[in-house]
Amino acid sequence: MKVAVVGATGLVGGEILKVLAERDFPVTELLLVASERSVGKQMEFKGKQIKVIGMQDAIAAAPQIAIFSAGGSTSTEWAPKFAEAGIVVVDNSSAWRMDPSKKLVVPEINAKELTKEDKIIANPNCSTIQMVVALNKLHEELQAKRIVVSTYQSVTGTGVKAVEQLMNEREGKEGEKAYPYTIDLNVLPHIDVFQDNGYTKEEMKMILETKKIMGDDSIRVTATAVRIPVMGGHSESVNVEFEKDFTLDEVYRILNETEGVKVVDDVKNLQYPMPKDAHGKDDVLVGRVRLDETQPRTLNMWIVADNLRKGAATNAVQIAEYLVKQGLV
CATH code for position 291 = 3.30.360.10
Taking only the tens place, the pLDDT of each residue in 77-105 is 999 999 999 999 999 999 999 999 999 99
Angstrom CA distances, 96 to 82, 111, 215, 242, 326, stand at: 14, 16, 17, 30, 23
Q: Which of 126, 139, 190, 279 is catalytic?
A: 126
- Summarised one tens digit per residue, pLDDT across range 234-287 is 999 999 999 999 999 999 999 999 999 999 999 999 999 999 999 999 999 999
What range does the domain containing 69 cover?
2-123+312-326
Asked whether residue 7 falls in the same domain as residue 97, the answer is yes
Ligand-binding site membership of 218 (annotated): no
Q: How many domains does the chain have?
A: 2
Do the Cβ atoms of 280 and 307 come closer than 8 Å? no
Gap between the Cα atoms of 232 and 74, Å rounded: 26
Residue 232 in marked binding region? no
Phi/psi of residue 252, each to 5°?
-60, -40
Q: Do 96 and 236 belong to one domain?
A: no
Helices 126-142 and 201-214 sit at what angle, rounded to 10 degrees? 40
E strand or H helix at 223: strand 220-227
Q: How long a stretch of residues is the chain?
A: 329
pLDDT tens digit string along 128-137? 999 999 999 9
Asked if the structure places residue 132 within a domain, the reply is yes
Same domain? 97 vs 137:
no
CA–CA separation, 152 and 237 (whole Å):
8
For residues 149 and 106, membership in a common domain is answered with no
Asked if residue 51 belongs to a domain, the reply is yes
Backbone angles phi, psi at 114, to 5 degrees: -75, 145
132 and 116 assigned to the same domain: no
190 is catalytic: no
Together in a domain, 322 and 244:
no
* Same domain flag for 119 and 16: yes
Are residues 107 and 76 both part of a single domain? yes
- Annotated ligand binding at 227? The verdict is yes
Closest CA relative to residue 121, chosen from 140, 103, 141, 135: 103
Residue 160 lies in a domain: no
139 is known as an active-site residue:
no
Same domain, 195 and 296: yes
Give the domain CATH number at 65: 3.40.50.720
Q: Specify the amino acid at residue 189.
A: P
Residues 39-83: tens digit of each pLDDT: 999 999 999 999 999 999 999 999 999 999 998 999 999 999 999
Same domain, 243 and 318: no
12 annotated as a binding-site residue: yes
Entry pTM? 0.95
